[in-house]
Amino acid sequence: MRNAKEGVSRIMGLGIALVLAAVFSMLIWVPQGHADGTTVDMNKTGSITVHSVEGDTGVPATGAEVNNLTNQIINGSEFKLTKDSTDVSTLAGMQAAAGVTTKNFTADTHFRAKNCTTQTNGSCKFEPLTPGVYKLEQIKAPTGKQTAAPAIVVLPLTNPTGTGFMYDIHVYPKNATIGSIKKVNATPADTLLKEGAEMTFKITVPIPKHDADAKKFTAFTVTDEPGSGLTVAESGITSVVLGTETLTSDTHYTVSKTNNNVKVTFVGDGLTKLSGSTESELIVNVKGTVTNITTAKVVENKAAYAYKLADGTNNTGGKDPNGNDPGSEGVETKDDDSSQTTFGYVQIKNTDGTTNALTGGKFKVGKCAADGKSVVAGQEVATDATTAAQVGPIGPLAKLCVEQTTAPTGYALNPEATAIEFTAEKIKSANNKPLEALVTNTSNNDFLGKLPLTGGPGVIALLSAGAVLMLVAVALMSRKRHQD
């Protein structure tokens, strides 16, 4: 009987031990990188220090500070911190924390979101923070940098050395460098640019690293943003080219216009094609009309692109790049990469070949004919210009011709146009002043005087010889009559 009782006691003792062991094992279970729910001090505050760096650090993300990184630090990165509603004060809460992702994150309505911007040392700090589950989002990246993917951070974390817990956590979100968007004025060089003229532009858009799965494109837009002197219609998007393929409007992308901005938005088939492509660039060809150039003086055309990948990586600071947010068109990747075309003026100076200025003449100004001696019909900026006014504005042109149509009173018409260089460099060096075109005229009264010195006696001799021949002819005719 005693042995039976001892057996029962042993079995009960073993059962209790197993239960305690199971309970103990549950109490000390912690997801990798998370603190033990039974030891979290809910009254203790901590911090999350964000270190913005370029590229991958190559070290495990343990929450500890790393002091020997060689990555370039980035200042001017802005981050936002929000808190999940999960309560981590219990074991169940810690287990739930392990399952929180950026997709099922539920904001704690009692927590006021915090922002911080990295300084010259590339870091900024969120504090004080109570234990919990936080979502870290980069809402702004410096020009030319891709925002880091959003991340979930649980506070506190287990110390990587295995001794206690860390309430002051360091995180290292990586910012990839994104390619620079390029805008080139593709208007043919011999085009006479004036009010109403058509200009064309080639926008080259870099395609960020991606794949067809976890990092596939969920949004991609390209926006043409005329700054001044140019109007672009929806029909101004003449083609979108990926590699050797010209994409199809409405099938791969749609075009919309807001104010003077024209946006190309990739849709289902287009996003799939982009995600599966190995091309590194996308070409968007645009045409526009020179508008209000007298006031603008410069045709400026900017462009921006915005994208978002399935993992949350983007270049819009988390905004919707499909346009639901007015500021979501993305940004230029350089401050000086917009296409700018400066227009200039020409001032006609008319003289008699000396310092004497002439008035009363009229001129047409425009594109030079192939021989450079006249203005091409239909390619004029002005048809009755005078010396009193500046003619323009006119866009850069290799040669600009000024052809006289009416000479000043008392002067012979100059039969050949005056051609001047009207390049972008010449316009710029003029420093907002007109370039000069000199046209000379010869006085009608000066015609003989302007002949070469050897020409005068020659003409007189010729006239004298003619008179003698006429006299001889008259004498011969008179003699013949008498003979008859």
Distance CA(465)–CA(476), nearest Å, equals: 17
Query: Which of 124-138, 298-312, 354-368, 451-465 shows the lowest mean pLDDT across its residues?
Result: 451-465
Report the pLDDT averaged over residues 284-308.
Answer: 94
Question: What is the reported pTM?
Answer: 0.69
What is the tens place of the pLDDT at every residue in 224-253?
999 899 999 999 999 999 999 999 999 999
Task: Return the structure tokens found at 410.
Answer: 């008392």
Residue from 374, 351, 373 nearest 364 by CA:
374
What is the tens place of the pLDDT at every residue in 423-480?
999 999 999 999 999 999 999 886 555 555 444 454 455 445 555 556 656 556 665 5
Beta carbons of 213 and 219 less than 8 angstroms apart = no
DSSP 135-164: EEEEEE--TTBPPPPPEEEEESEE-TTSSS
pLDDT at 23 (0 to 100)? 32
Query: Sign of the C-alpha dihedral, residues 116, 119, 125, 127?
Result: negative
What is the tens place of the pLDDT at every residue in 78-128?
999 999 999 998 888 888 998 999 989 999 999 999 999 999 999 999 999
What is the tens place of the pLDDT at every residue in 132-143?
999 999 988 887
- Report the Cα 283 to chain-centroid distance in Å: 13
What is the tens place of the pLDDT at every residue in 142-172?
877 888 888 999 999 888 877 778 999 999 9
130, exposed or middle or buried, with CB in 10 Å at 0-12, 13-18, 19+? middle
Predicted confidence band at 352 (pLDDT cuts at 50, 70, 90)? very high
Hey, which residues does 281 pair with through a beta bridge? 206
pLDDT at 204 (0 to 100)? 93
Distance CA(131)–CA(128), nearest Å, equals: 10
Sheet with 362-368, edge to edge strand ranges: 375-385, 362-368, 397-406, 418-422
Residue from 449, 436, 440 nearest 355 by CA:
440
Most confident stretch, 9-23, 197-211, 241-255, 312-326: 241-255
Specify the CATH number for 344-446; select among 2.60.40.10, 2.40.50.140, 2.40.50.180, 3.40.50.300: 2.60.40.10
Which CATH fold would you assign to the domain 182-341? Immunoglobulin-like (2.60.40)
Kindly tell me if the per-residue pLDDT of 35 is higher than 90.
no
Place of tokens 């910012």: 175
Predicted confidence band at 14 (pLDDT cuts at 50, 70, 90)? very low
CATH number of 33-175: 2.60.40.10
What is the tens place of the pLDDT at every residue in 245-275?
999 999 999 999 998 899 999 999 999 999 9
* Cβ neighbours around 177 below 10 Å, total: 13
Residue from 215, 225, 317 nearest 274 by CA:
215
